[in-house]
Amino acid sequence: MRLDRRTLIAGTAAGLVLPAVGCARTNDADEESKMTEVKPVPLGESDVDWKAITEDEWRERLTDKQFRILRKEGTEWAGSSDLNDEKREGVFICAGCHLPIFPSSYKYNSGTGWPSFFDYAEGTLGFKTDYKLIYPRKEYHCIRCGGHQGHVFKDGPDPTGLRYCNNGAALLFVPA
């Protein structure tokens, strides 16, 4: 992990340099989050101006894969995320700003190869329509840092009937 002065200051301001309560599970050190101190930071509990972080700063904070997905609206290969098989109790947080978005109780096995959820913590996501495929899709992103998370489809289970199809690399998991 590169930890220059700017990263350290930003991390401290975000309250992120605290004893870790959990870490992203990974088999590949290169894919490990550069923000190794993983802790949920709920809305209203960060004094960082997330929307003011520049593209270069995001590049320093994130792994290449996280950057491509969160900041460039990329999509990971199906089945590529360890979080597909994550079944423990806990919370899935934005890999960019650590906002807790999906309680583990909202996760279900959609069989698609992407971590899937039928709902999200209220007030944590923003939505817009994209046309990257021929048909319109509803894209959603972290409301705090603007990081792209995934797309929502209307073929999910009860009680919402919705499927939030999320990139695993855009999330970190913090066990309860």
Site string for Zn ion, 123-162 (x = CB under 5 A): -------------------x-xx-x---------------
Three-state DSSP state, 140: strand
- Report the nearest approach of Zn ion to the CB of residue 111 (Å): 27
Residue 99 CA from chain centroid, whole number: 8
In whole angstroms, how close is the CB of 155 to Zn ion at the nearest point?
Answer: 26
Euclidean distance between CA atoms 106 and 103, whole angstroms: 6
Nearer to Zn ion, 142 or 162 (CB): 142
In angstroms, give the least distance from the CB of 143 to Zn ion.
Answer: 8
Contact 145, 124 (CB under 8 A): no
Of 46 and 81, nearer to Zn ion (C-beta) is 46
The correct pick among 11, 22, 90, 96 for binding Zn ion (CB under 5 A) is 96
Residue 22 found at the interface with Zn ion (CB under 5 A) = no
Specify whether the backbone of 15 is left (phi greater than 0), alpha (psi in -120 to 50) or beta. Answer: left
Burial of 112-150, coded b for 16+ CB within 10 Å and e otherwise, reads eebbbbbebbeebbeeeeeeeeeeebebbbbbbbbbbbb
Cis peptide before 175 (omega within 30 of 0): no
Instruction: Give the nearer residue to Zn ion in terms of CB position, either 144 or 163.
Output: 144
Matching residue, tokens 């949920």: 40
Shortest approach of Zn ion to residue 94 CB, angstroms?
3
Residue 145 is among the residues annotated as catalytic for this protein = no
Nearer to Zn ion, 162 or 172 (CB): 172
Contacts to Zn ion by CB under 5 A: 94, 96-97, 99, 142, 144-145, 147
Catalytic residues: 165
